[in-house]
Amino acid sequence: MADRVGAKSEWDSRRLLLLLSLIGIGILLAVAILAPLISPYPPLKQFTSQGELEAPSASHWMGTDQVGRDLLSRVLYGSRLSLLISFAVLAISVALGLTVGAVAGLIGGLADEVMMRVTDIFFAFPHLILAMAIVATLGRSVNSLILALAVIWWPSYSRLIRGQVLAIRERPFVDAARVIGNGTVGLLAKHILPQTVPELAVRLTLDVGNVILVVSGLSFLGLGAQPPIPEWGAIIGEGRPYSLTAPWLMIFPGLAIVFTILCFSFLGDALQDMLRP
């Protein structure tokens, strides 16, 4: 009886964690989509008549920045770019990693060896340094940042999918599907890759927060979105010289980053507990 009560309590906590994380992510997505409608001011509008670096007030809930722009509007608009970059990076990484990992795991042999050695080359470089080198080579822009992060992120998905395919391809239902005439593409699409979805979903939700953190860090260093484009890391970077006189320039976008990472981390933990009990 005690075991049943404990199991029910644990299940309830998992569902609560999942619910809270979904609510938080729903709020983030709503803010990103509706930013033009809910922002009190345009993100580039300057209120120079009221003075720059105005503290939070009734007219500017998060204050203004060093050139008189409303910080709340810039943080709301920044959610669009931060989430868009993260989703774009993960979409490219999953597409490339899924292709390489699935082919290497199912075919095996020389193809597996070649693909995995290429993957090892990318693992050999420090990820942040490699990303910074790519951005510096291609030029400082959002597109360069997306490409650089996709280059350093896809190998982990390739390894993940390859390991899953190697384990799944030995199961009896795959042998049965092969016997009744399914080819390589059919085995992958109908029988093997669907079995990797739970593991892939957990990794994706956890990586959204990780990508946003790296994106913010590189933008803080000036390697991502360029001023005056509103992006959380770039906003913090612009406010760094005023960290003592106007700390709200760093506090509010920093809280937005923390909130986003926590929401996706909680979702990943909840999915991991539910899909991999």
Secondary structure of 102-167 in the HEC alphabet? Answer: HHHHHHCHHHHHHHHHHHHHHHHCCHHHHHHHHHHHHCCCHHHHHHHHHHHHHHHHHHHHHHHHHH
What single DSSP character describes residue 221? Answer: T
- Side-chain-side CA neighbours of 112 within 13 Å: the count stands at 13
Q: How far apart are CA 272 and CA 14, in angstroms?
A: 10
Domains along the sequence of the chain with CATH: 2-40+63-275 (1.10.3720.10)
Q: How far apart are CA 142 and CA 125, in angstroms?
A: 22
Which residue type occupies 170? E
**What is residue 225's predicted lDDT score, i.e. its pLDDT?**
83
Q: Which of 80, 50, 79, 81 is nearest to 63 (CA)?
A: 50
Backbone phi, psi, residue 185, to 5°:
-65, -40
Going residue by residue through the chain (277 aa), what tens digit of pLDDT does each one get? 545 555 556 666 778 888 889 999 999 999 999 999 999 999 988 887 666 888 898 888 998 998 889 999 999 999 999 999 999 999 999 999 999 998 888 887 888 888 888 898 888 888 888 999 999 898 888 999 999 999 999 999 999 999 888 888 778 877 787 777 777 677 777 778 888 888 888 899 989 989 999 999 999 988 888 888 899 999 999 999 998 889 999 999 999 999 999 999 989 888 887 776 5
Q: Token pair for residue 11? A: 């299940």
